[in-house]
Every structure is written in C-alpha cells, then in structure tokens.
Structure 1
Amino acid sequence: MDQKEHHKPTDRVLVDRVLSGNTRAFGTIIRDTEGLVAQIVFKMIPDREERRDIAQDIYLKVFQKLDSFRFQSKLSTWIARIAYNTCINQLEKNKISAIGNPYPLPTDHEDEHEYPDEQDLEETLMGAEFTSLLASEIEKLPALYKLLITLYHHQELSYSEIGQIVALPEGTIKSYLFRARKMLRERIQMIYNKGI
C-alpha cells in the first residue's frame, strides 16, 4: 500500500491519460474518489434505489466534462462538486430541500462559544453508545447539514474545499456547521435527559 501510494500519479497525469484514451486511468480516478462521492450521495439522497444510478451519473458527467477541468482545485474536489450538484438536481426533481427550510433564517450572533457545556457533554457521553447515537442523529439532519458534517469531520476537508464543492462562502459553511452541531447537541441532550 505504501509503495503504491508513493508512486501515485498526479491529477494532471491521470487527466492527460484519460483524455488520451486510457480507460484504466479513469478507473484509478474512480477508485481514488469513490469514497468521497459515496459519502456525498449517501448523505444527500435518502432513496437507496436512486443512489447507484446517481453515482453512475456522476462518473458519466466527470468523464464527459474532464476536458474542461482546469486544475484550479484538486481533482477530487472538482468531482465532489459534480457529485453535490447532481444530488441537488435530483433532490429538486424529487421536490426535497437539502436543508429542510430552503431559506433558513440566520440567528443573531451565532457564536461557537455560546455553549460552554459542550465539552463537558462530549466528555460525559463518549464511548460506543454515544458514537452510535451520534451517527443515528446525524442521519436525521437535513441533507446539506449531514453532508457538511461528513465533509468536515469525517473527510477532514477544509472550509475552502467544502466551499468549492457546495458553492457556498466559508462564512455560510461555518454558520451551517454551527447550526448542525447545535441541532445534534440539542437532540442528544434531549435523549439523555429523557433517559435520566
């Protein structure tokens, strides 16, 4: 694995190979990005039947548009953007909003330091039970919030990379992430308070 990783071709080399007709290079692109694409599709598309078709559609679009890729971002970020747009189009076709309310109203002075008990709560609830509960509650979030949590916390992408994928300013992403975490925190506190 290490050796293979060491000799990994660059985005430019892979794109050049695909554009020269090398289909194996496109297979490499799919392998390198399918985890990220799967995360986006799974977090945004509730219908299991649609997911496979959408993933195929995403890679078909990637293949068709590859000659328009300008290397202004990482190839994986560009592909993730196509995946996100494809999912949004599907949600619109299905008349489902990605964030529940399509125009969430910003709350005054959203500041991550508003909740000093956040760390105490997280320390108290750590462990397998909490991890399972957290995963279950993340799945109940609106599609965009679920995706942002996944891209930021699981894929460990920067605000800038996420911004390129979802076409939102970094400030909006921070605000949405804050709201998503707040919703999770409130739901989990409610569940644990009921249990006490």
Structure 2
Amino acid sequence: MNPNPADNHLVNMALRGDTQAFGVIIKNTEKLVAGIVCRMISDPEDRKDLAQDIYLKVYKQLPNFRHQSKLSTWIAQISYNSCMDHLRKKKLLLPGEVMPEGSETFIFSKDVTLILNTAIDQLSPVYKTLITLYHQEELSYEEIGQITGLPDGTVKNYLFRARKALREYLTFHYKKEDL
C-alpha cells in the first residue's frame, strides 16, 4: 500500500473529476518530470511535447494507479518510459555510450556545478537519467528500479559506469587545478 495518504486523497479526488487535485499532482511532480525529460531529450520542442504527453498519460492511466508505490515514483516511471519510447522511435537510443563531442563549447569556469552539468550532458540518456534520479532527486536504487524497470543490480552497475564515464570525461577535459 502507498505510504503517502495525501497521494491517495489526491488520486481519489482527481478520479472524481476534481481538476484542482490533478493540478496539485502536476505541481508536486513537475520538477521530477522535467528533470527526467531534460536529461533524456535534447530537443526543446520534443521536451515540451513529451511533458504534455506524459501528463496526458498520467491522467488517462490514473485509474490504474495501484498505490503500491509513491505517486511520484509511478509518474516518474511513466516519464522515463515515455522518453525511452521517444528515443527508440527517433533511433536516438545508445545505451551505455558516451555521446560524442559535437559543436558544444566546454565551460572552463571554476563553477563546479556548470562543469559537472556539462559532463553529465555528455552521457547517454539512460546514464544521465540515472545520475539525476540518484544524486539530484536522491531516490533509492529500488525507486529507480521501479521507474526504469531495471533490476537493482543493473541500476547500481549503470550508475557505476556513468560515474566512471564522468570521471574519464572530467579527467580528459580538465586539469585538476581547474576543478
């Protein structure tokens, strides 16, 4: 059973047609959804369309929410799956690969956050999402597994690989004193 009674109440209200309750659901999860979409999808127009599609799916699938996880985890899973479907459809999914350097300029400031975000953006969409969910959203391996459909061991393994790719990128592009 869902440990958050507020989630249950919001879902029940939204299912009864309360649009304000659904608005609260969106407000409570929009940062999480935006984080997933922005890390996985590079095109701004696609991001906007996907975010709208995600909440349309949430609305349509709300009767299927089983209260076995947090509502935010369930919505994050829909977000992740929608992004993966989009990447597959556009043939942009390259799991496990670091994206090649393009015309992007590297930030050589002393701002570690900008440097780190630049490095994270070089990762594959799956790795970017896992790093974001674990380190920024502070979700557990189990919650990330529920969102992505990956076993806990795979989540740990992919996070290890993502961190290793980040370390290699940073080592290659920045001198120790730059960081």
Sort the TM-score into its range (normalised by shorter chain).
0.7 to 0.9
* Matched ranges for 1:4-153 at <5 A: 10-99=6-95, 128-153=110-135
The one-letter amino acid paired with 1:48 is: P
Alpha-carbon distance in structure 1 between the residues aligned to 2:146 and 2:29: 16
SS of residue paired to 2:174: helix
Question: Residue 96 of structure 2 contacts residue 127 of structure 2 at CA under 8 Å; is this kept in 1?
Answer: no
Q: Which has the larger radius of gyration?
A: 1
Q: TM-score w.r.t. structure 2 length?
A: 0.86
Question: Residue 95 of structure 2 contacts residue 125 of structure 2 at CA under 8 Å; is this kept in 1?
Answer: yes
Alpha-carbon distance in structure 1 between the residues aligned to 2:94 and 2:43: 14
Alpha-carbon distance in structure 1 between the residues aligned to 2:91 and 2:147: 21
Alpha-carbon distance in structure 2 between the residues aligned to 1:151 and 1:61: 21
Alpha-carbon distance in structure 1 between the residues aligned to 2:161 and 2:71: 29
The one-letter amino acid paired with 1:67 is: P
Query: How big is the shift at 1:154?
Result: 0.3
Question: Residue 44 of structure 1 contacts residue 98 of structure 1 at CA under 8 Å; is this kept in 2?
Answer: no
Alpha-carbon distance in structure 2 between the residues aligned to 1:88 and 1:63: 19
Alpha-carbon distance in structure 2 between the residues aligned to 1:172 and 1:128: 34
The count of residues paired between Structure 1 and Structure 2 equals 164
* Matched ranges for 1:153-164 at <5 A: 153-164=135-146
Structure 1: gaps spanning 5 or more residues:
1-7, 102-126
Alpha-carbon distance in structure 2 between the residues aligned to 1:33 and 1:95: 28
Query: How big is the shift at 1:130?
Result: 2.5
Alpha-carbon distance in structure 1 between the residues aligned to 2:74 and 2:156: 21
**Percent identity among equivalent residues?**
55
The one-letter amino acid paired with 1:27 is: G
SS of residue paired to 1:10: helix
SS of residue paired to 1:73: coil
2:158 corresponds to = 176
Query: How big is the shift at 1:193?
Result: 4.1
